[in-house]
Structure formats: C-alpha cells, structure tokens
A and B are shown apart, each in its own frame.
Chain A
Amino acid sequence: MNILTYILLGFLVICAISVTFSKKLLNSVLIFMSYSLVMSIIWMMLESPDLAITEAAVGAGVTSVLFFVTLRKIHAMGEEDVDDEER
C-alpha cells in the first residue's frame, strides 16, 4: 500500500515535469489527462471516493475533451486533422 503510494506520487511529479518539457501540445494534454487519472487513484487511496469519482469524470474526462477541441480549433493537432476539417 505504501509503496504504491510512493510510486503514484512519483508518477505525478514526473507527469508535471514532462508537461513542461514536451514539444507538442497534444502530448502535453495527454500527459495532463493521465495526471488527472492518477490523481483520482490517489484520492481513492486517501479514503475520499467522492473526490475520486468527480475528478475522474471532470478532470480526466471533460477538461481533456475541452483541451482537445481547443487544439483542433487552433490547428495544433497535426496535418491529417486539418485536412479532415477542410473537407
């Protein structure tokens, strides 16, 4: 139990740092999504299931979807998507 907590907290820090250094915006949004998911697992282990279920639905779900749609609007999701939109 304790070791799993250490691993998950370390994963959080690694995720937060790699958001800073990733070159592509899409990658950083994906990393942020996994960050939110791991955060919800940590809240589950801290005995607050209300927070865990809300974060899993809101942080990892809806916020990431909003980021993806924004990236699509600002044409930062790669060439094939831009072609898709022009069709």
Chain B
Amino acid sequence: MFGPNLFTNYGEAVSVILFVIGFSNLLLQKNLIKKIIGLNIMDTAVYLFLAEKGYIRDRVAPIVVDGIQEVEAYINPVPSGLVLTGIVVSVSVTAIMLSLTIRLYRRYHTLDLDEISMLLKKEGR
C-alpha cells in the first residue's frame, strides 16, 4: 500500500499530519476560537506542503548573486510566490472570523456553538 518514498518525503508527511490535526480541531472542538486556530493550522500545513514541493537539495534561495542565472543554482520560485500571497490572505480571513466571533459573543454571551444553536432555536429562527 505504502510507496517507497514515505520517509524521504518526511516534510510532506508532517504537513499532511498537521492538516489532519487542524481539520479534526475544526470538527471536534466546540469553542469558536479553537476552531479558528485549527483553520490557521490547516492553512500553514498547506503552505508547508507547497514550500516542500519547491525545495531542491543543495540549491539556494532565488536571489540572483554575482549574475549567476543558471537553473541549476536556485530553487523553484513558483511555490514561494504562491505561498507569499496566501499568507496575507489568511490573516485577513482570520480577522473577519474573529470579528464575527466578537459579534456572536456580544449577542449570546457564549462561545459554545451548541449553546448558540440552542439559543437560536429558542428565539424561533
């Protein structure tokens, strides 16, 4: 079942494990703040996976030094650019979710999703 490269690809394996941990946080936790932290962990796990894909052994970061422009000198710059935009979007998503959490807390004085749904049912919505 398992292929030959599970232990050479340890970085990708760890990022997959982190993704699943974040996802289980999202499913199992009742607290909204912990759910948001779980979503952030999923984000960083995906970015770690992309960065591992762009890494090439014994090469340096894609900043041109001394005019050397061979492909053999630098790592793959494409995943770095993708992740760079992703990180900043993730912080804005986090800010929106936290502000929604604050509004929910002001309205219902709790962070537990079960209690919030019970209160909603009681209000008849």
Contacts and interface: CB of A to CB of B under 8 A. Distances in A.
Whether chain A touches chain B in the assembled complex (some CB pair under 8 Å) = yes
Interface of A: 5-6, 9, 12-13, 16-17, 19-20, 25, 28-29, 32, 35-36, 39, 42-43, 46-51, 54-55, 58-59, 62-63, 66-67, 70-71, 73-74, 76
Interface of B: 10-11, 14, 17-18, 21-22, 24-25, 28-29, 31, 33-34, 37-38, 40-41, 44, 47-48, 51-52, 54-55, 59-61, 63, 75, 79-80, 83-84, 87-88, 91, 94-95, 98, 101-102, 105, 111
A1 B29 CA distance: 36
- Candidate in A25, A49, A63 with the most chain B CB atoms within 10 angstroms: A63
Contacts of A43: 48, 51
A67 B37 CA distance: 9
Given A13-B14, A16-B18, A70-B98, A54 B48 contact: no
B32 to A, nearest CB: 9
Contact of B25 (A19, A54, A70, A71): A19
A13 B48 CA distance: 13
Interface of B is mostly: helix
B88 A58 contact: yes
Contacts of A71: 33
Q: Would you call the interface of chain A mostly helix, strand, loop, or mixed? A: helix
B52 A46 contact: yes
A62 B28 CA distance: 27
Contact of B37 (A29, A49, A54, A58): A29
Given A73-B102, A74-B102, A54 B21 contact: no
Contact of A74 (B34, B55, B94, B105): B105
A85 to B, nearest CB: 14
